[in-house]
Chains A and B, each alone.
Chain A
Amino acid sequence: MRLSTNLLRKFADIKVDDNKIVQLIQEHIGEVDYSHDLREDYRDIVIAEIVEKQDHPDADKLGVYKIVYGEKEPIQVVAGDKNLKVGDKVAYLKIGSVVPYSILTEEEPFVIKKINLRGVASNGMMGSARELNLGNNHARVMVLPKDAPVGQPFAEYYDLNDTIIEIENKALTNRGDLFGILGISRELTAILGHKFVSPDWYLNYDKYLKPEDTCLKLRVVNDAEAICPRYTALALDNVHVEESPIWLKSTLIKCGIKPVNNIVDITNYISVLIGQPLHAFDYDKLIKTDPNAKDTANIIVRMAQPEETILGLDDKLYALDEETMVIADSTHPIAIAGVIGGKETEVDKNTKRIILESANFNKTSIRKTSMRLGIFTEAATRFMRNLDPKQCLPGLLKAVEIFKDENWATIASEIIDIYHEEKDEVTITIFPEKVNTILGTELTINEISTILENLEYSVEIRNKKKETWIQATAPSWRKDIEIAEDIYEDIGRIFGFNNIPIKLPEKEIKPPHKNSIVEIKKSIREVLSNSGANESVNYSFVGIDSFKNCNLDNNLAYKIQNPLSPELSLMRTTLLQSLFQKGKENLERGEEAFVLYEMNISHLNNYVEENKLPTENWYLSSLIVNSVVDTNASPYFVAKRYLEKVFRSLGVENIQYDLISESEELDLPPYIKNILNIFEPNRASIVSIKGVKLGIVGEIKTFVKDSNKLPEYSGAFEINIEDLVKIKPSNKKYRDMPIYPTFTKDLCFEMPIETKQKSLEDEITQTLEKENLWYKVECLDIYSDEKLKERKRITYRVTASDFNKTLNDSEIKTLTSRISKKIEKDYESVILI
């Protein structure tokens, strides 16, 4: 919504400067996108007259002119326009003035200097419409009307000593009444503490209804009552289509609307004033194209029929459907109601008679049509915001009044008014105590009622016993007022939100509930980031290639109906997809070894809750890569080490690792099943704790590594944090510390290569546990070579101490042999030390 302060001042006596107006709008009405004071832009531009014209001796396309604007000597100006004549009035930009167009478009505004154009001196410039910021034409110098007074500052002549304000439409979504100058003037007046009174022609239009000659026949039928509450129209004769006068052009330009001709411009002017869009149809064209017209112009408001089309004023052909409301003659659409007029009945310079329409259309219908057809005209923008049907007639009559005053047309028909009036006036009870509770103010009942009256509410103060309250009825144009809270907002806004004294709420002292997921994520973040891992945050969107590269089923992904691009068209089913992609990008940037992790939600469309929404689990995923390490070892072990760091920090114990190749796939949860094929089945395991399967850790499949350009040494894990939270950390209790010196003994066993280290270690600890000792068992080394064939050697270091005495050699020997014997028996093992 664009407006100018000069226009505002026409409606209201606003005794503050333009800067203050901008501030007041911003703080009391809505976001100001931008404001611009034009005064400086047109400094040193004056109206001049051409007194002499010559050809340029050395350039075909340049003309050499002499102009005067009050100086004694004519001034020579060279222009790229040879069509100017002696006697033409132009806007002359003096040396030192700035080209207005450049102020908003260039970083450094263009300052006019004295120059030489192919050997001829040029002292200043004659502005084109574009250069003067008044239109698009930049090929021709803008010629002013004959009566433009020579020597007058251009800004004064063109009413440019003004400030433009653009209010964000979004802020006015529910305020159709603020799409006209009248509405903004009303608000400003109330904000400044005065009572606003809408002009007589707006409120009491009835007395302006004076039909004259009724020679033209007009028939209107409303077949879309439900979404066209009101349709008013009349015919005008003796129409003179011409260029609009300066005041009108200037007004429209400042409001961001392109002037067309006086007829169209007045319809737009009414829209600027009160937000009521009008439309003018060429009466004769309408009669001509309607085979059933005879001498009566038919206007029918109806829904379009399938396959109907219309050529819009924008020269585009639109296909219509049954949900599009149109204005039609007896056979076919001539306008899309409230959105855009039709080319067929366009007013042009030969138009002699017109039909002027001022109607009210349903906001939802207009919005749908506008969105579907992609047409966002000033009219549609306004209708979408719910306009008051009551302003159809004042809008129509104000336009007619101007036509008559300017001698541009005469009334030639009855005023047609089809109005299905719905009583939607609501009277709302306002208790001052409630207003003050909600706003935190201390307003009196009189202060409240004054604010409302200033906005033209009708207000009644009532009381019963000790209670007083206000019965407030919003003016008809306030379609947004439905409940008391809407009125509290008006009171708060007009009083000034920033005048409210601020105070923290009074609250019981009570700690918030525990959010385990948030807490556990915090702990995980702490431990991983302190262990060389970098937390990353990645998009939820991926492309189809990511599924191929990661060996994933893209049919399990949610597909975006309206993606930004194919690369962002699917929701990732595992965080690993992002980590692999980001891993690759970092490797390409020259990184060699890193650990990336992310905690986030991913989605599977086969894993949903009862209400059809996807189950949303938090996952912890990590990618560990090293492209420089020289090893044959599986990266499984480094990935596992990171995972164990997390488990240890959370106090989670008894973790079980089962190779994918040795696990049953059937009983896996869907999010684990989904990522199985990312991992090498012999080198990755399902991680579980007390039977709960948390996720997978391991080496990435060669195919997946290759497709994602990850190095040989690449490991990863992904676990479900939700399940991790459910596992109670082991209840740590204090354990006695050793009192007597500890002994250390290394034990080496040889056994079949497939024997699990963990079971061996458990065996050792169990034996030690029975002895009532303080002890520690550490796996030092695992060895195998060709000579050992399918066997391996594991070395453990046992450290222990008795709580009652220092153990002697023979006691130690007894102890170790007890361990060894058990192991030899159970594990086809040979003890080596």
Chain B
Amino acid sequence: MEYTHKNLIHIKTSFTKDLEKLGYKELKEKYLGKKGLVTEALKEITSIPSKEKPIYGKEVNTLKTFVEDNISEKIQENREYASKPKIDPTAPFDINEDSQIYSEMLSLEGSKHALTKEAERLLSIFSSMGFDILESRQIDDDYNMFQSLNFPKGHPARDMYDTFRTEDGLVLPAHTSTMQNRALKKFGPPPIAVVLPGRCFRNEATDAGHEHTFHQIEGVYVDKNVSLSNMIATIKTYLERYLETNLKVKIQPAYFPFTEPDCEFVIGCPFCNMSGCSTCGHSGWIEIMGCGMIHPNVLKEADIDPELYSGFAWGFGVDRLAMIKLGIDDIRYLRESNLNFLRQF
């Protein structure tokens, strides 16, 4: 017992010395490895008389914890990572390097992301129709997200948007409409034709059909004599161009504080010719976006005279459109960065 007790003290002393000298890997190896000093001391217990076992067990475990804690602290403090020798940052390759690896890496199977690829396509369609592009913010304030859009404080429709807020009281936009006021001011006076793509957030649990993070494209069109009829035709036109097919469309009433009238845009399912399939939930119709004539209060807030001008706006999810088009059945794949997924597009 005396011997083994001394041995433990000895291990502790030597560890304390080594702690300054050795890297964490060597320390681990020397003390906690298969034949490490602490590991050996632990095995020792079998040879201890049974009445002394509890005392020894306690001591050896204390030592083990001590060693482990110190090693992990060392990792934490980053002390073990000695800086590496300098390289020549201006060189095309390292000293003695065989540059074979570059051609290997460069010949990997690269890919654009399904979402950005579809968004790119959509934006190029909008560009060809004369729409400007203004990308949306990802952290915004209450004024742009709600107030400027005719949602005064305490408005019940605010509940429809499960918004994330930062501890500083800022808002993570729940729709790209958060850019409407800025866009109207930036591109005004009318005519204004602009699309507002960007990342949006909703505080809702995720599953195959729902994400807390998604990509939207908002559109805003303001001019003299702009009508609901113009809106339906515009949306129908770009959707037909994007989906490369003729569409049957209808609109349904909805409610948004920032449009009046407010509508839901519905397309006849192009995948089953409206006979019912999994994409359209066997109804033959797909609700694709909210839209409507911009509320006069929203125009006024951006210094546009609603007596003179009228306009329409829409907002749709690129995720949903891309999923429909590419047959992706789980929205979560879009932000999982699984190479098996990424390489497909």
Residues of A within 8 A of B (CB): 26-31, 170-175, 363-364, 367-368, 371, 384-385, 437-441, 483, 485-486, 488-489, 492-493, 497-498, 500-505, 507-513, 515, 517-518, 522, 525, 528-541, 551, 558-564, 568, 571, 578, 582, 585-586, 589, 591, 593-596, 599-601, 603, 605, 611-614, 616, 624, 626, 629, 631-634, 636-638, 640-641, 657-659, 661, 680-685, 698-699, 701-703, 706, 753-759, 779, 782-785, 792
Contact = CB atoms under 8 A, between A and B. Distances in A.
A95 to B, nearest CB: 31
Contacts of A578: 337
Contact of B91 (A533, A561, A637): A637
B338 interface: yes
Given A502-B232, A537-B337, A595-B110, A682 B141 contact: no
B110 A591 contact: no
B208 interface: no
Interface string B70-114: 000001001001011111111111111110011011111111110
B252 A30 contact: yes
Contacts of B340: 589
A589 B226 contact: no
Q: Which 7 A-B pairs have the closest CB atoms?
A: A440-B229, A758-B90, A532-B108, A440-B227, A489-B261, A633-B94, A582-B337
Nearest to B201: A540
26 contacts: A31-B252, A171-B253, A438-B310, A485-B260, A485-B296, A500-B229, A503-B233, A505-B226, A508-B191, A517-B135, A528-B110, A529-B112, A531-B106, A560-B166, A561-B164, A564-B212, A593-B105, A612-B141, A632-B94, A638-B105, A659-B86, A661-B86, A702-B84, A703-B75, A703-B81, A757-B91
Contact of B132 (A515, A601, A659, A661): A515
Contact of A564 (B205, B257, B262): B205
B213 A539 contact: yes
A782 B93 contact: yes
A371 B89 CA distance: 59
A653 B97 CA distance: 25
A626 B105 contact: yes
B88 A757 contact: yes
A682 B95 CA distance: 14
Given A493-B261, A538-B337, A637-B97, A605 B168 contact: yes
Contacts of A658: 89
Interface string B46-85: 0000000000000000000000000000010010010111
Interface string B284-327: 00010000010110000000000000100000000000000000
A784 B111 contact: no
A782 B87 CA distance: 12
A759 B337 CA distance: 40
Contacts of B239: none
Contacts of A485: 260-261, 293, 295-296
A30 B75 contact: no
Contacts, number: 346
A611 B142 CA distance: 12
Given A497-B261, A757-B90, 20 more contacts: A174-B157, A500-B232, A502-B229, A504-B230, A505-B233, A515-B132, A525-B116, A531-B110, A535-B116, A558-B166, A564-B212, A612-B168, A616-B139, A634-B84, A682-B84, A702-B81, A758-B90, A784-B95, A784-B96, A792-B95
A782 B95 contact: yes
B5 interface: no
B227 A439 contact: yes
Contacts of A591: 339
B328 interface: no
A616 B339 contact: no
B45 interface: no
A680 B140 CA distance: 35
Contacts of A537: 113, 115-116, 334-335, 337
B193 interface: yes
A594 B338 CA distance: 11
Contacts of B116: 525, 535, 537, 599
A25 to B, nearest CB: 9
Nearest to B101: A629
B113 A371 contact: no
B156 A385 contact: yes
Interface string B242-268: 000000001111110100111110000
B91 A616 contact: no
Contacts of B85: 682
A616 B138 contact: yes
A794 to B, nearest CB: 8
Contact of A532 (B105, B130, B230, B296): B105
Residues of B in contact with A, size category: 35 or more
B123 interface: yes
Nearest to A640: B89
Contacts of A754: 86, 88
Contacts of A685: 89
A683 B87 contact: yes
A507 B191 contact: yes
A657 B90 CA distance: 6
B12 interface: no
A529 B168 CA distance: 38
A582 B123 CA distance: 28
Contact of B101 (A616, A626, A706): A626
A700 B226 CA distance: 55
A528 B106 CA distance: 9
Interface in B190-212: 191, 193, 199, 201, 203, 205-206, 212
A31 to B, nearest CB: 6
B252 A611 contact: no
B165 interface: yes
A131 B133 CA distance: 57
Contacts of A706: 75
Contact of A492 (B191, B250, B261, B337): B261
A23 B269 CA distance: 17
B74 to A, nearest CB: 11
A534 B110 contact: yes
A614 B139 contact: yes
A222 B260 CA distance: 37
Nearest to B138: A601
B102 A641 contact: yes
Nearest to B90: A758
B91 A779 contact: yes
A380 to B, nearest CB: 11
A130 B106 CA distance: 65
Given A505-B230, A525-B116, A539 B335 contact: yes
Contacts of B250: 27, 497-498
B260 A558 contact: no
B121 to A, nearest CB: 11
A409 B234 CA distance: 61
A486 B253 CA distance: 13
A492 B212 contact: no
A515 B132 CA distance: 8
B95 A783 contact: yes
B110 to A, nearest CB: 4
A446 B301 CA distance: 34
B273 interface: no
Given A658-B89, A682-B83, A593 B138 contact: no
A367 B154 contact: yes
B160 A173 contact: yes
Given A503-B230, A532-B105, A616 B137 contact: yes
B18 interface: no
A640 B99 CA distance: 13
Given A173-B156, A368-B154, A636-B89, A562 B165 contact: yes
B237 interface: yes
Contact of A782 (B78, B96, B168): B96
A174 B255 contact: yes
Contacts of A518: 123, 133, 135
A532 B109 contact: yes
Interface string B209-237: 00011000000010101111110111011
